[in-house]
Structure 1
Amino acid sequence: MKRLVVIPLIAALGLAGCASTNEPGAEGQSNNTAAGAILGGIIGGIIANNTGDQSTGKSAAGILAGAAIGGAIGNSMDEKERKIREIAAERDAKALEVQRLREDLLRVSVSSEASFAFNSSTLKPEFKPTLNKVASVLRDDPKVLITIIGFTDSIGSETYNLALSKRRATATANYLISQGVPTRQIVTDGVGEAEPRASNATAEGRAQNRRVEIYLRQT
């Protein structure tokens, strides 16, 4: 399993602006596809400019090609978002949270209460059918890159929490791989208690902090 430095990665994933569509629906999907096309068009124009080709026709061709690529990326991610939101709707609202961070980037937050027993990195049997469905969305797309990151609350030592977060990320990845998602498309890491979502001073806050996040980036 490949390793990565998490904080720079998340910062990089967040660049180029956010196109957040927290509510599912056709309008949100169309907006994301359009945003992808616009971004692709800009990229195509830059490519055409930087290659030294100043002719109007070829610059336009570069813009159109970039728009087509960006539109395809946005459309593909729209479809994944729709399907994963349908999977999430079948469970408790806090078990699986889906957020569109950018036209090419989706975050799926998995509650550790739903997926792991206390102080364990073994997936709960009752959560596996949900991961089976997520795997079915991912396994046939060689252009989706999957980053899985584990997080914990602050109870226990930093060293122990860091190790636990990594084990849980790896367990999640291994299960997706067992369901046919290619190993080469997945990287994992854990940050322990380092990046809390909420205050660790309350039981509710600690529950929010215990999670696994799956980032899907369409290329």
Structure 2
Amino acid sequence: MAESLDVLGEVVELGFELCGTYAFGPDGRTLAGSRPPLTSVARIAGYLDRCAGVRGVAKARSALRWVMDGSASPMETLLAMELGMPKRLGGRGFPPFVVNRRIELPDEHLRGLAQRSRVYVDLLFEHQGLCLEFDSFEHHGGREEYDNTQARANALRSMGLRVNSITYGQVASLARFDDLVWGLETQLGLRHRPCGDSTRARQRELHALLADVRRRHF
């Protein structure tokens, strides 16, 4: 697949899909629910080590450097790739974070607030205490699910974490995504560094790829 895909971002995205917990239907576009990960970053790395000299291995290794285990949706993959990949590849070069981190709620009050004993955070900047939660209209549109989402966020806030709710509207266009990035940089204490024309072109290319919800993934 690394050999056949033209853009490195597509290979990275494929790695997220293989190591994630979401699946596409036969049309290659529509989400078909969740499933256990098909593989992991470590297993792919081990396989590539056994494929020395095979066409596409170097490109696959380069892409695997930016893949993470456990993404639960294409939008989580978008956030992880665009924030985590370096600027030379179209990303924003944010400091390290984890995806779908499980957090055990330590006392009965927090468990009562969230109505569960543990929660999962979409993206977590652990050292900075900042959470990003993607709110999908399809999955969070009902009143009960909305209540559950807000209760979970309140439990995280009660633990001293900052919670940012991200919607598709905030990432649909590059301009809106730039505003989101600026706000996150401010919260994380990062400098707002301008980028050159070539870097901006790569950011535009990566965002156009990942934000296209009508695109076939296979």
More helix by share: 1
TM over 0.5: no
TM-score (norm 2): 0.28
